[in-house]
Chain A
Amino acid sequence: MTGSRSTLSIYGEKAIELLIRLCGVSAIIFVFAIFFFVFREGAPILASKDFSLGKFLTSTEWYPTSMSNVRFGTLALLAGTLSVTGVAMLIAVPFGLGAAIFVSEFCTGKVREILKIVIELLAAIPSIVWGFIGLTVMNPIIQNLFHVPVGLNVLNAAILLALMSIPVMVSIGEDALKAVPDSYREGALALGATRWQIIWRVLLPAAKNGLLAAVLLGVGRAVGETMAVLMATGHAVQIPHSIFDSCRTLTATIAAELGETREHSPHYQVLFLIGILLFTITFIVNLIADFVVKGVRKK
């Protein structure tokens, strides 16, 4: 009896191991499958004689539906995505990490619970609603405050993106800080360090990997966000020269135009190529992060 039982449990264990392995492998399969699909839809354009990859990456002229002279230059869109994301991070990183430090180190009891709930609520607002806010609330505020003709611009979208990515940063950042053992805080405290010195010299170095992950998740959220930026940037194809210029992002372009294209037309294929470009950007961001974390660890 015990013999058969143990064979059964051995098989059971094997089966569970297999299942877990499958889960792990499936993540890799999904990534490749998605990449493959997007690539298959977009790739044929690369072979077309009317299309030049150089122009695609370096030209600012985006006239995908022109009858006489079709031009697929994405530089302006890329600039739009990068500038909106960049400005958003300038706002979100200090606020997000600051809030994480505040919640984790300075709040106790009720205040802390309430703050966490409010921040989570912020994360639950759908992006289309943020878009409304950009259109109807932020637009006039920016116009009046800075005396600019249009309030739908880089700044508007960046503020929305910042607000959208702050909750992620706060909750991941707070987890990272909470994971720092209390003995570090007490150790530093007993050495006569002030609260600020403890945060600056002990907590931040100890939690840096987690904090970096928090920032990167925020960047990922910002690069990939579509609806809100579609509504708040002004959707104008141009390289923005100031934060008050309108612009257009890669994601918004795909969202706005894909529905209008014929399947497998050049325009359709170029939009998929833009998808690959986005993919590449996030891939590079993650890669850099990996290197940074490893470099930090080595030291």
Chain B
Amino acid sequence: MVKPKVQVENLRLSYGPREVIHGISFDIEPNEILGIIGPAQSGKTSLLRCINRTIEFTVGAKPSGTIRVDGEDISEMRNVYELRRRVGMVAPLPVGLPLSIYDNVAFAPRAAGMKKKGELDTLVEKCLTQSALWDEVKDRLDSLGTKLSGGQQQRLTIARALSHSPEILCLDEFSIAIDPVTTMRIEDVLKVLKKEVTIILVTNLVQQARRLAARTMFLWNGEIIELGPTEQLFGDKPKDKRTYDYVNGIFG
């Protein structure tokens, strides 16, 4: 039995008095792509933000329960910055930092203390190549990242998330603002990346989970309705009727 990469146990989260995640538990295997589907407001983004502990910056947000990464309780980690480097995050809308393309990708390594120009150069090229952007931007690494097209910016954020060599990569509805062609290119990238990292793929496109994920979780109103092999959720007989309805678009 392989040791799980991430273990979530009885995770609860409330914003002020309102609880939005109601005690969920699940494991994520190393090097798998776990798909998470579910309607808007069901707590998908909040769940990801608990895993890299950026939830701490939301005033009034109170998580409880335990999340372990490689068996280590993240709430007891002293160096939260290191945790955030181990868990890469790609947001729904690309957030190009107001820096050059190069500096965008070099941001996290620099924050972590890497200074040598040569090392940074190699790393920037590697990450941009991995995110299928290198050929399009290699001649203008000095221009502003925010000047790229939406799809390119999203690949830039992926390159940036890869720049700190994360062990876990969280993608939060990454395709919401980009065209289908770019989406497919990134999906191909993810299939390759899976060899090196564990991927949590929150997606608004249920078919995307079907294409990429070995296992899929259906999260609804802060509860796991069903978690299992992707074929099971997308097949004729998922365990829960609601899964069938949601996956087949009958959901009200």
Task: Name A's B-contacting residues (CB within 8 A).
Answer: 108, 181, 183-184, 186-194, 197, 201-202, 205-206
Contact = CB atoms under 8 A, between A and B. Distances in A.
Contact of A193 (B52, B89, B99, B111): B111
A39 B98 CA distance: 45
A193 B108 contact: yes
21 contacts: A108-B59, A183-B93, A183-B95, A186-B54, A186-B57, A186-B91, A187-B97, A189-B57, A190-B52, A190-B84, A190-B91, A191-B84, A191-B85, A192-B82, A192-B164, A193-B107, A193-B111, A194-B111, A201-B111, A202-B98, A202-B99
B54 A190 contact: yes
A205 B15 CA distance: 32
Interface in B98-131: 98-99, 107-108, 110-112
A193 B95 CA distance: 15
Q: State the majority secondary structure of interface residues on A.
A: helix
B81 interface: yes
B155 interface: no
Contact of A201 (B81, B91, B107, B157): B107
Contacts of B89: 190
Given A183-B93, A186-B54, A201-B107, A191 B160 contact: yes
Contact of B164 (A184, A186, A191, A201): A191
Closest 3 CB pairs of A and B: A187-B95, A192-B85, A192-B84
A250 B152 CA distance: 55
Contacts of B97: 184, 187-188, 202, 206
B107 A191 contact: yes
Given A191-B107, A192-B85, 4 more contacts: A184-B98, A188-B107, A190-B52, A193-B81
Contacts of A206: 97-98
B67 to A, nearest CB: 16
B146 to A, nearest CB: 10
A184 B91 CA distance: 11
Contacts of B95: 181, 183-184, 186-187
A181 B84 CA distance: 21
Contact of B112 (A184, A186, A188, A192): A192
